[in-house]
Amino acid sequence: MESKDTTNFSFYVSPITNLFPKTDISIIQVYDLLKSQNLQGITQKLRAAQNKPAADEIKKTSLPYVTFSGIFRKRCDNELIRRSCYYCLDCDHLGDRWQQVWNFIIDNFNPVLLFRSPSSDGIKVIFIIDPEIDHASYFEAFYRYFVGKLGIYIDHACKNVSRACFLCYDPNAYLNKSAKVYGSDFVNSFNPDQHKRPRIRKEVASSYQEPLAPDKTWEIFNKLAAWADRRTPYQVGSRHYHKLILFGALQRNGIPADQAVTLVYDRCKKSGVPTESLGQFQDMAARVYRLYATEANIKI
pLDDT tier, 61 (very low <50, low <70, confident <90, very high otherwise): very high
Q: Is cis: bond before 15, omega within 30 of 0? A: yes
What does the alpha-carbon distance between residue 11 and residue 64 come to, in Å, rounded to a whole number?
8
In this prediction, what percent of the chain has a pLDDT beyond 70?
87
Helix (H, G, I), strand (E, B) or coil at 282: helix
Residues 209-233 have a mean pLDDT of 75
Q: Which stretch of DSSP H or E encloses residue 71?
A: strand 70-72
What does the alpha-carbon distance between residue 268 and residue 194 come to, in Å, rounded to a whole number?
32
Whole-number pLDDT of residue 5: 66
Whole-number pLDDT of residue 94: 83
- 12: phi then psi, degrees, rounded to nearest 5: -125, 140
**DSSP output for 2-68:** -GGGTSEEEEE-S-TT--S-SEEEEHHHHHHHHHSSTTHHHHHHHHT-SSHHHHHHHHHHH--EEET
Residue 206 pLDDT more than 50? Answer: no
Between 206 and 29, name the one with better pLDDT. 29
Whole-number pLDDT of residue 130: 95
Residues 193-222 have a mean pLDDT of 50
Residue 146 pLDDT more than 70? Answer: yes
End-to-end CA distance of the chain: 49
| Residue 157 contacts residue 163 (beta carbons within 8 Å) | yes
Whole-number pLDDT of residue 2: 41
Q: Which of 132-141, 162-171, 206-215, 220-229 has the lowest mean pLDDT?
A: 206-215
The pLDDT mean for the chain works out to 84
Residue 200 pLDDT more than 80? Answer: no
Helix (H, G, I), strand (E, B) or coil at 228: helix
Pairing of strands 70-72, 113-116: unpaired
Whole-number pLDDT of residue 214: 56
Whole-number pLDDT of residue 4: 53
Whole-number pLDDT of residue 207: 35
Which tens digit of pLDDT belongs to each residue from 272-288? 888 888 888 888 888 88
What does the alpha-carbon distance between residue 218 and residue 223 come to, in Å, rounded to a whole number?
8
Residues 173-186 have a mean pLDDT of 95
Whole-number pLDDT of residue 296: 39
Between 180 and 251, name the one with better pLDDT. 180
